[in-house]
Amino acid sequence: MNAYERVMTAMRGAQPDRVPVVESAIDPKVSEAILPGVRDQGDLAEHLDLDNVGCGAAYRRVTETKNGWIDEWGVRYVTGPEIVDHPVEGPIREIGDLAHYEPPDPDAPHRLGLLPEMVRRYKGRRAIVFHHRAAFMWSAFVTGLEDLLMAFAAEPDFAEAVMDVVVGVNERVARNAVRAGADIVTLADDYASNMGPLFSRAHFEQLVLPRLQRVVDAVHEEGGLVVKHSDGDLWPILDLIVDTGADGLNPIEPVANMDIGEVKRQYGDRICIIGNIDCGALLSHGTTEQVEAAVQKCIADAAKGGGFMLSSSNSIHSSVKPENYVAMVKAGQRFGAY
Protein backbone atom coordinates (compact mmCIF):
# COMPACT_ATOMS: atom_id res chain seq x y z
CA MET A 1 0.00 0.00 0.00
CA ASN A 2 1.12 3.53 -0.61
CA ALA A 3 0.35 6.37 1.80
CA TYR A 4 -2.86 7.42 0.03
CA GLU A 5 -4.25 3.90 0.02
CA ARG A 6 -3.28 3.43 3.67
CA VAL A 7 -5.15 6.54 4.82
CA MET A 8 -8.24 5.93 2.72
CA THR A 9 -8.47 2.34 3.96
CA ALA A 10 -8.31 3.47 7.59
CA MET A 11 -10.74 6.32 7.00
CA ARG A 12 -13.28 3.83 5.69
CA GLY A 13 -12.95 1.77 8.87
CA ALA A 14 -10.87 -1.04 7.41
CA GLN A 15 -7.41 -2.35 8.24
CA PRO A 16 -4.47 -1.18 6.09
CA ASP A 17 -0.98 -2.69 6.04
CA ARG A 18 0.03 -0.49 8.97
CA VAL A 19 -1.33 2.36 11.05
CA PRO A 20 -1.20 5.59 9.04
CA VAL A 21 0.80 8.40 10.64
CA VAL A 22 -0.75 11.77 9.90
CA GLU A 23 -0.65 15.35 11.17
CA SER A 24 -2.83 18.42 10.75
CA ALA A 25 -0.48 21.35 11.32
CA ILE A 26 3.28 21.45 11.88
CA ASP A 27 4.96 24.66 13.01
CA PRO A 28 7.55 25.91 10.49
CA LYS A 29 10.23 26.16 13.18
CA VAL A 30 9.85 22.48 14.00
CA SER A 31 9.85 21.57 10.32
CA GLU A 32 12.99 23.63 9.70
CA ALA A 33 14.78 21.98 12.62
CA ILE A 34 13.98 18.55 11.23
CA LEU A 35 14.65 19.39 7.57
CA PRO A 36 16.67 22.58 6.99
CA GLY A 37 15.41 24.41 3.92
CA VAL A 38 11.95 22.82 4.06
CA ARG A 39 9.41 24.66 1.89
CA ASP A 40 6.11 23.26 3.11
CA GLN A 41 4.46 20.28 4.78
CA GLY A 42 4.85 18.32 1.58
CA ASP A 43 8.63 18.41 1.86
CA LEU A 44 8.46 17.22 5.46
CA ALA A 45 5.98 14.50 4.52
CA GLU A 46 8.44 13.20 1.95
CA HIS A 47 11.32 13.35 4.43
CA LEU A 48 9.48 11.55 7.26
CA ASP A 49 7.21 9.47 4.99
CA LEU A 50 4.06 10.89 6.55
CA ASP A 51 0.88 9.49 5.08
CA ASN A 52 -0.84 12.82 4.47
CA VAL A 53 -0.13 16.32 3.29
CA GLY A 54 -2.22 19.28 4.34
CA CYS A 55 -3.20 22.80 3.38
CA GLY A 56 -6.17 25.08 3.92
CA ALA A 57 -8.22 27.96 2.61
CA ALA A 58 -6.32 31.20 1.99
CA TYR A 59 -7.81 34.43 3.35
CA ARG A 60 -5.64 37.38 2.45
CA ARG A 61 -4.48 40.15 4.72
CA VAL A 62 -6.57 43.14 3.71
CA THR A 63 -5.09 45.62 6.19
CA GLU A 64 -1.88 45.60 8.22
CA THR A 65 -2.23 46.84 11.81
CA LYS A 66 0.30 47.78 14.46
CA ASN A 67 0.45 44.31 16.01
CA GLY A 68 -1.15 42.19 13.34
CA TRP A 69 -3.59 42.34 10.46
CA ILE A 70 -7.21 42.20 9.26
CA ASP A 71 -8.35 39.45 6.91
CA GLU A 72 -11.07 39.15 4.26
CA TRP A 73 -13.66 38.26 6.90
CA GLY A 74 -12.96 41.59 8.60
CA VAL A 75 -11.40 39.83 11.59
CA ARG A 76 -8.45 41.50 13.31
CA TYR A 77 -5.58 39.25 14.40
CA VAL A 78 -2.62 39.75 16.69
CA THR A 79 0.53 38.09 15.44
CA GLY A 80 1.97 35.53 17.85
CA PRO A 81 4.71 32.92 18.03
CA GLU A 82 2.62 30.05 16.64
CA ILE A 83 1.65 29.08 13.10
CA VAL A 84 -1.90 30.37 13.72
CA ASP A 85 -2.36 34.01 14.79
CA HIS A 86 -4.93 34.97 17.42
CA PRO A 87 -8.25 36.62 16.42
CA VAL A 88 -9.15 39.46 18.77
CA GLU A 89 -11.96 41.45 17.13
CA GLY A 90 -14.64 40.93 14.50
CA PRO A 91 -16.82 43.25 12.40
CA ILE A 92 -20.29 42.04 13.46
CA ARG A 93 -21.67 43.26 16.79
CA GLU A 94 -25.44 43.07 16.18
CA ILE A 95 -27.87 41.67 13.65
CA GLY A 96 -28.11 45.00 11.81
CA ASP A 97 -24.43 44.76 10.88
CA LEU A 98 -25.22 41.83 8.60
CA ALA A 99 -27.15 44.09 6.21
CA HIS A 100 -23.92 45.65 4.92
CA TYR A 101 -21.48 42.84 5.71
CA GLU A 102 -19.70 41.31 2.71
CA PRO A 103 -18.17 37.91 3.46
CA PRO A 104 -15.24 36.58 1.43
CA ASP A 105 -15.91 35.28 -2.06
CA PRO A 106 -15.66 31.47 -1.78
CA ASP A 107 -14.81 31.22 -5.48
CA ALA A 108 -11.92 33.72 -5.44
CA PRO A 109 -8.98 32.35 -7.47
CA HIS A 110 -6.65 32.28 -4.46
CA ARG A 111 -9.15 30.71 -2.05
CA LEU A 112 -7.83 27.15 -2.15
CA GLY A 113 -4.33 28.24 -1.25
CA LEU A 114 -1.69 25.56 -1.81
CA LEU A 115 -4.22 22.87 -2.71
CA PRO A 116 -3.58 22.88 -6.48
CA GLU A 117 0.15 22.48 -5.81
CA MET A 118 -0.43 19.64 -3.32
CA VAL A 119 -2.70 17.90 -5.82
CA ARG A 120 -0.09 18.23 -8.56
CA ARG A 121 2.65 16.79 -6.36
CA TYR A 122 0.84 14.13 -4.34
CA LYS A 123 -2.51 13.08 -5.82
CA GLY A 124 -2.84 9.32 -5.49
CA ARG A 125 0.42 9.03 -3.52
CA ARG A 126 -0.37 10.72 -0.20
CA ALA A 127 -3.76 11.63 1.23
CA ILE A 128 -4.48 15.30 0.56
CA VAL A 129 -6.23 16.93 3.51
CA PHE A 130 -7.88 20.34 3.25
CA HIS A 131 -8.12 22.02 6.65
CA HIS A 132 -11.32 23.99 6.93
CA ARG A 133 -14.29 24.81 9.18
CA ALA A 134 -18.08 24.61 9.11
CA ALA A 135 -19.86 27.44 10.96
CA PHE A 136 -19.02 27.82 14.64
CA MET A 137 -15.43 29.08 14.83
CA TRP A 138 -15.58 31.64 12.02
CA SER A 139 -18.83 32.90 13.52
CA ALA A 140 -17.01 33.28 16.83
CA PHE A 141 -14.24 35.15 15.03
CA VAL A 142 -16.55 37.64 13.29
CA THR A 143 -18.67 38.34 16.39
CA GLY A 144 -16.39 37.46 19.30
CA LEU A 145 -16.69 34.14 21.11
CA GLU A 146 -18.34 35.48 24.25
CA ASP A 147 -20.88 37.49 22.26
CA LEU A 148 -21.75 34.50 20.10
CA LEU A 149 -22.25 32.23 23.10
CA MET A 150 -24.40 34.88 24.79
CA ALA A 151 -26.44 35.12 21.60
CA PHE A 152 -27.05 31.36 21.70
CA ALA A 153 -29.08 31.97 24.86
CA ALA A 154 -30.41 35.52 24.45
CA GLU A 155 -30.54 36.17 20.68
CA PRO A 156 -30.65 32.84 18.84
CA ASP A 157 -31.94 34.53 15.68
CA PHE A 158 -28.78 36.65 15.59
CA ALA A 159 -26.55 33.63 16.19
CA GLU A 160 -28.26 31.68 13.42
CA ALA A 161 -28.07 34.58 10.98
CA VAL A 162 -24.32 34.94 11.52
CA MET A 163 -23.69 31.22 11.23
CA ASP A 164 -25.76 31.00 8.06
CA VAL A 165 -23.55 33.62 6.41
CA VAL A 166 -20.42 31.78 7.49
CA VAL A 167 -21.58 28.30 6.56
CA GLY A 168 -22.67 29.53 3.14
CA VAL A 169 -19.09 30.53 2.38
CA ASN A 170 -17.51 27.49 3.99
CA GLU A 171 -19.76 24.94 2.31
CA ARG A 172 -18.87 26.37 -1.09
CA VAL A 173 -15.14 26.38 -0.30
CA ALA A 174 -15.35 22.77 0.91
CA ARG A 175 -17.10 21.68 -2.29
CA ASN A 176 -14.52 23.49 -4.40
CA ALA A 177 -11.69 21.84 -2.47
CA VAL A 178 -12.96 18.33 -3.17
CA ARG A 179 -13.59 19.19 -6.81
CA ALA A 180 -10.00 20.46 -7.01
CA GLY A 181 -8.59 17.19 -5.68
CA ALA A 182 -8.72 17.16 -1.88
CA ASP A 183 -9.34 13.64 -0.59
CA ILE A 184 -10.37 14.68 2.92
CA VAL A 185 -11.79 17.87 4.40
CA THR A 186 -11.09 18.47 8.08
CA LEU A 187 -13.75 20.58 9.77
CA ALA A 188 -11.78 22.15 12.60
CA ASP A 189 -14.35 24.05 14.62
CA ASP A 190 -13.45 23.59 18.28
CA TYR A 191 -16.52 22.84 20.40
CA ALA A 192 -15.06 22.25 23.85
CA SER A 193 -12.50 23.08 26.49
CA ASN A 194 -10.89 20.55 28.80
CA MET A 195 -13.92 20.99 31.08
CA GLY A 196 -16.54 20.14 28.47
CA PRO A 197 -18.47 21.72 25.57
CA LEU A 198 -18.67 25.50 25.28
CA PHE A 199 -22.45 25.32 25.03
CA SER A 200 -25.32 23.11 26.17
CA ARG A 201 -26.26 19.96 24.33
CA ALA A 202 -29.57 21.63 23.43
CA HIS A 203 -27.86 24.64 21.89
CA PHE A 204 -25.49 22.35 20.01
CA GLU A 205 -28.42 20.40 18.56
CA GLN A 206 -30.38 23.53 17.67
CA LEU A 207 -27.69 25.87 16.38
CA VAL A 208 -24.38 24.18 15.61
CA LEU A 209 -25.20 20.64 14.55
CA PRO A 210 -27.42 21.44 11.53
CA ARG A 211 -24.68 23.58 10.01
CA LEU A 212 -22.02 20.97 10.68
CA GLN A 213 -24.30 18.42 9.04
CA ARG A 214 -24.70 20.69 6.02
CA VAL A 215 -20.96 20.77 5.33
CA VAL A 216 -20.45 17.06 6.07
CA ASP A 217 -23.18 16.26 3.56
CA ALA A 218 -21.72 18.66 0.99
CA VAL A 219 -18.28 17.05 1.16
CA HIS A 220 -19.81 13.60 0.82
CA GLU A 221 -21.90 14.72 -2.14
CA GLU A 222 -18.69 15.78 -3.89
CA GLY A 223 -17.04 12.42 -3.18
CA GLY A 224 -14.75 13.48 -0.33
CA LEU A 225 -14.33 12.25 3.22
CA VAL A 226 -14.67 14.31 6.40
CA VAL A 227 -12.60 14.46 9.57
CA LYS A 228 -14.29 16.25 12.44
CA HIS A 229 -11.67 17.97 14.58
CA SER A 230 -12.40 19.46 17.96
CA ASP A 231 -10.25 19.98 20.99
CA GLY A 232 -11.61 19.41 24.47
CA ASP A 233 -13.94 17.05 26.30
CA LEU A 234 -16.57 16.09 23.74
CA TRP A 235 -18.26 13.27 25.66
CA PRO A 236 -21.56 15.16 26.27
CA ILE A 237 -22.08 15.68 22.52
CA LEU A 238 -19.91 12.98 20.95
CA ASP A 239 -22.82 10.78 19.93
CA LEU A 240 -24.34 13.68 17.99
CA ILE A 241 -21.05 14.36 16.20
CA VAL A 242 -20.71 10.72 15.20
CA ASP A 243 -24.32 10.70 14.00
CA THR A 244 -23.45 13.29 11.32
CA GLY A 245 -21.67 10.56 9.38
CA ALA A 246 -18.27 12.22 9.58
CA ASP A 247 -15.65 9.67 8.56
CA GLY A 248 -12.95 10.52 11.11
CA LEU A 249 -12.59 12.10 14.55
CA ASN A 250 -9.53 13.85 15.92
CA PRO A 251 -7.56 14.70 18.02
CA ILE A 252 -9.22 13.00 21.07
CA GLU A 253 -7.23 14.99 23.62
CA PRO A 254 -5.97 12.86 26.53
CA VAL A 255 -5.71 15.90 28.83
CA ALA A 256 -9.43 16.57 28.25
CA ASN A 257 -10.72 13.25 29.58
CA MET A 258 -10.86 11.77 26.08
CA ASP A 259 -9.67 8.17 26.52
CA ILE A 260 -8.88 6.95 23.03
CA GLY A 261 -9.48 3.32 23.93
CA GLU A 262 -12.95 4.12 25.24
CA VAL A 263 -13.76 6.21 22.15
CA LYS A 264 -12.64 3.28 20.02
CA ARG A 265 -14.81 0.84 22.00
CA GLN A 266 -17.91 2.99 21.76
CA TYR A 267 -17.59 4.42 18.26
CA GLY A 268 -14.80 2.62 16.42
CA ASP A 269 -17.26 0.72 14.24
CA ARG A 270 -18.72 4.01 12.97
CA ILE A 271 -15.85 6.48 12.67
CA CYS A 272 -12.09 6.42 12.14
CA ILE A 273 -10.27 7.26 15.37
CA ILE A 274 -7.36 9.71 14.94
CA GLY A 275 -4.98 10.67 17.73
CA ASN A 276 -3.73 11.17 20.31
CA ILE A 277 -0.09 11.60 21.40
CA ASP A 278 0.03 14.42 23.97
CA CYS A 279 1.50 17.49 22.28
CA GLY A 280 1.64 19.38 25.58
CA ALA A 281 3.82 17.94 28.31
CA LEU A 282 4.95 14.82 26.47
CA LEU A 283 6.05 16.08 23.06
CA SER A 284 7.26 19.39 24.49
CA HIS A 285 9.12 18.19 27.58
CA GLY A 286 9.30 14.40 27.53
CA THR A 287 12.04 12.09 26.35
CA THR A 288 12.11 10.16 23.11
CA GLU A 289 11.76 6.97 25.16
CA GLN A 290 8.59 8.29 26.77
CA VAL A 291 7.22 9.27 23.37
CA GLU A 292 7.91 5.80 22.00
CA ALA A 293 6.14 4.20 24.97
CA ALA A 294 3.11 6.48 24.49
CA VAL A 295 2.91 5.56 20.81
CA GLN A 296 2.97 1.86 21.65
CA LYS A 297 0.16 2.31 24.18
CA CYS A 298 -1.91 4.39 21.78
CA ILE A 299 -1.61 1.74 19.10
CA ALA A 300 -2.49 -1.00 21.59
CA ASP A 301 -5.56 0.92 22.74
CA ALA A 302 -6.98 2.01 19.40
CA ALA A 303 -5.48 0.24 16.39
CA LYS A 304 -7.05 -3.23 16.59
CA GLY A 305 -9.10 -4.02 13.51
CA GLY A 306 -8.15 -0.86 11.63
CA GLY A 307 -10.05 2.40 11.47
CA PHE A 308 -7.27 4.21 13.33
CA MET A 309 -4.60 6.76 12.43
CA LEU A 310 -1.83 8.03 14.69
CA SER A 311 -1.38 11.77 15.19
CA SER A 312 -0.65 14.29 17.91
CA SER A 313 -3.36 15.42 20.31
CA ASN A 314 -3.73 18.75 18.49
CA SER A 315 -0.83 19.84 16.30
CA ILE A 316 2.93 20.08 16.23
CA HIS A 317 3.29 23.56 17.71
CA SER A 318 6.48 25.55 18.20
CA SER A 319 7.21 24.15 21.68
CA VAL A 320 7.34 20.55 20.49
CA LYS A 321 10.86 19.13 20.55
CA PRO A 322 11.75 18.24 16.96
CA GLU A 323 13.43 15.02 18.09
CA ASN A 324 10.26 14.00 19.91
CA TYR A 325 8.11 14.48 16.85
CA VAL A 326 10.53 12.43 14.77
CA ALA A 327 10.47 9.75 17.48
CA MET A 328 6.67 9.74 17.40
CA VAL A 329 6.54 9.29 13.63
CA LYS A 330 9.19 6.59 13.55
CA ALA A 331 7.59 4.70 16.44
CA GLY A 332 4.23 4.80 14.70
CA GLN A 333 5.74 3.39 11.55
CA ARG A 334 7.71 0.77 13.47
CA PHE A 335 5.04 -0.50 15.85
CA GLY A 336 1.97 0.10 13.70
CA ALA A 337 2.26 -2.90 11.38
CA TYR A 338 -0.83 -5.15 11.27
**In whole angstroms, how large is the CA radius of gyration of the chain?**
19
The answer on pLDDT for 50 being more than 90 is: yes
* Cβ neighbour number for residue 296 with a 10 Å cutoff: 15
- Apex 24 CA angle, 282 and 43, nearest 5: 100
Helix residue ranges, H only, 19-134: 28-34, 41-48, 115-122
Q: What is the pLDDT of residue 79?
A: 87
Residue with the bigger pLDDT between 52 and 81: it is 52
Confidence of residue 86 (pLDDT cuts 50, 70, 90): confident
Q: pLDDT (tens digit, 9 = 90+) per residue, 114-165?
A: 999 999 999 999 999 999 999 999 999 999 999 999 999 999 999 999 999 9
* Per-residue b or e along 147-166, where b marks 16 or more CB atoms closer than 10 Å to that residue's CB: bbbebbeebeebbbebbebb
Q: pLDDT (tens digit, 9 = 90+) per residue, 196-221?
A: 999 999 999 999 999 999 999 999 99
The answer on pLDDT for 91 being more than 80 is: yes
Residues 201 and 204: their CA atoms lie apart, in Å, by 5
Domains of the chain: 3-335 (3.20.20.210)
Q: What is the pLDDT of residue 85?
A: 82
Q: Please state the φ and ψ torsions of residue 272, each to the nearest 5 degrees.
A: -70, 130
Are 38 and 32 a contacting pair, CB within 8 Å? Answer: yes
